[in-house]
Amino acid sequence: MTSVMWFRRDLRLADNPALLEAAADGDVLPLFVQDPRLWGAAGVSRRAYLGDALRSLDASLRSRSGGEGGLQVVRGDPVRRVALAAREVGAARVHVAADFGPYGASRDRAVEQALAEHGIELVRTGSPYAVSPGRVTKADGSPYAVFTPFHKAWSDHGWPAPVDPPRAVTYVTVGDTADVPETTLPDGLSLPTAGEAAARRRWRSFVDERLADYGRDRDRPGIPGTSRMSVHLKWGEIHPRTLLADLSEADGAGATTYRAEIAWREFYADVLHHQPETARDYLRPQFARMAYDEPDELFARWQNGTTGFPIVDAGMRELRATGWMHNRVRMIVASFLVKDLHVEWQHGARHFMQWLVDGDLASNQHGWQWTAGSGTDASPFFRVFNPVTQGKKFDPDGGYVRRWVPELADAVDPHTPVDPIVDHAEERREALARWERIRR
């Protein structure tokens, strides 16, 4: 019996329980549906990265099938396309890793229904998380709203060990397999290497070379102190379980800090699962009553990295050039948009999702809500980052700013603003005044 493995954001063969389930049924049709609803919202970087990741998966599958049986890529509404593919190979089961995002979850319910009309079952095995959203709850069954107790309960809950890739599977395709779409990158844009093997190599070198100092270096955008796993986690080229298994063999503060970062990712997925509307709406509704400014030319200056605040401009330019931005700098530019320009977080979140190759809805939206003060367990609104102080503190030699803002390459003090679009001290007072009006 042939079954379908429908890949979505789990583009790997190793440590993939859903794929093992599919392989247990017999031959496997590996399927990817290019969904216009998701594809259309993605910026050029995300589309290009996803294309690379799919080609890499296709190559892995082919190398295990003597050059045949690569990834079957189809375009269109998954509700129609998945059922069509399953019927073509006479599958009784379609295997997936569960999707807990607002769109993905409802899409899967619709696909499940469409499949059921043909007597085909949608089988969900595993998820992109060590502990699936909804599984960690307080004693009374309600979800956690504060990170620290969630973190503890999540650790206590535990997770299974990684599983091996399936052996001796025959991968099949049917009909015409569309090519994975090629996306031409504009000049000056360079993306990380995609694929399962690249993800594992990168992780290995992080553990060997950087993990011990992670606690110290993770906040320094000028040095390669972070793991850069976000994009691989986003597309499932590596599973957090794999990372956690390696971390449990490492000790020291670096491993503990890194594990907590994985827990933040799972916490935000849990929060979004329980409150899907928070992908758009303020989690604390009183923040919707605060006075904001409409995005205008200052917003455009933020987007293209010409605010005159060096660390802000460096971050925004890094984002456009690489599809990624250092986490410390994400917080700084987010604080600047919300508290210096008084623009609602949703505008910033949308810009991030368009450009980030690692753009994950739960982490992105709730990271923004954290900065905006409106999220669960969020930063208090009165914590206003001073972009100059932050720059000096976390990029003390100016290396990061010099790299991404070349006109400052030879500046004596590269963190001194040049033609700043706002007066930070003034806008800080303004932000606090607006917040004062919605308090309590």
Partner DNA sequence: TGAAATGTTGGGGCG
Partner DNA sequence: ACGCCCCAACATTTC
Minimum Å distance from CB 368 to DNA? 13
37 phi/psi in degrees, rounded to 5: -65, -35
Does 436 bind DNA (CB under 7 A)? Our answer is yes
Does 118 bind DNA (CB under 7 A)? Our answer is no
Does 386 bind DNA (CB under 7 A)? Our answer is yes
Answer whether 310's CB lies under 8 Å from 405's CB.
yes
Nearer to DNA, 287 or 385 (CB): 385
Phi-psi region of 39 (alpha: psi -120 to 50; beta: other; left: phi over 0): alpha
Nearer to DNA, 153 or 197 (CB): 153
Structure tokens at 400: 């990061």
Nearer to DNA, 121 or 430 (CB): 430
SS3 133: coil
Nearer to DNA, 3 or 363 (CB): 363
Nearer to DNA, 113 or 286 (CB): 286
Nearer to DNA, 291 or 300 (CB): 291
What would the x/- binding string for DNA be over residues 222 to 261, using CB under 7 A?
---------------------------------------x
Does 413 bind DNA (CB under 7 A)? Our answer is no
Does 2 bind DNA (CB under 7 A)? Our answer is no
What is the DSSP code (8-state) at residue 195? Answer: S
Provide the 10 A C-beta neighbour count for residue 306.
16
Answer whether 357's CB lies under 8 Å from 323's CB.
yes
- Give, as ranges, the residues between 190 and 219 that touch DNA (CB under 7 A): 219
Nearer to DNA, 327 or 416 (CB): 327
Nearer to DNA, 162 or 375 (CB): 375
Count the residues in the chain.
440
Minimum Å distance from CB 218 to DNA? 8
Minimum Å distance from CB 390 to DNA? 4
Binding range to DNA, per CB under 7 A, among 24-32, 82-90, 397-405, 420-428: 420-428
Calpha distance 102→109 (Å, rounded): 11
Does 416 bind DNA (CB under 7 A)? Our answer is no
What would the x/- binding string for DNA be over residues 364 to 383, using CB under 7 A?
------x--------xx-xx
Nearer to DNA, 89 or 231 (CB): 231
Which of 62, 135, 393, 403 forms a contact with DNA (CB under 7 A)? 393
Binding range to DNA, per CB under 7 A, among 46-54, 70-78, 86-94, 428-436: 428-436
Does 396 bind DNA (CB under 7 A)? Our answer is no
Nearer to DNA, 113 or 148 (CB): 148
- Say what angle helices 253-274 and 361-372 make with each other, to 10 degrees: 90
Answer whether 203's CB lies under 8 Å from 21's CB.
no
- Give, as ranges, the residues between 309 and 338 that touch DNA (CB under 7 A): 327-328, 331
Structure tokens at 208: 């060997």
Minimum Å distance from CB 388 to DNA? 8
Provide the 10 A C-beta neighbour count for residue 170.
14
Does 147 bind DNA (CB under 7 A)? Our answer is yes
What is the DSSP code (8-state) at residue 435? Answer: H
Answer whether 401's CB lies under 8 Å from 311's CB.
yes
Which of 390, 402, 415, 422 forms a contact with DNA (CB under 7 A)? 390
Q: Which of 267, 258, 294 is nearest to 375 (CA)?
A: 267
Instruction: Report CA-CA distances (Å) from 114 to 146, 244, 338, 379, 382.
Output: 38, 36, 43, 43, 49
CA 332 to chain centre: 18
Q: In what order do the strands lie in the sheet with 3-7?
A: 72-75, 28-34, 3-7, 93-96, 121-124
Does 264 bind DNA (CB under 7 A)? Our answer is yes
The residue behind tokens 């504009």 is: 186
Minimum Å distance from CB 430 to DNA? 11
Q: Which of 149, 101, 97 is nearest to 272 (CA)?
A: 101
Structure tokens at 68: 């045949």
Q: Which residues bind DNA (CB under 7 A)?
A: 147, 219, 261, 264, 327-328, 331, 370, 379-380, 382-386, 389-390, 393, 424-425, 428, 432, 436
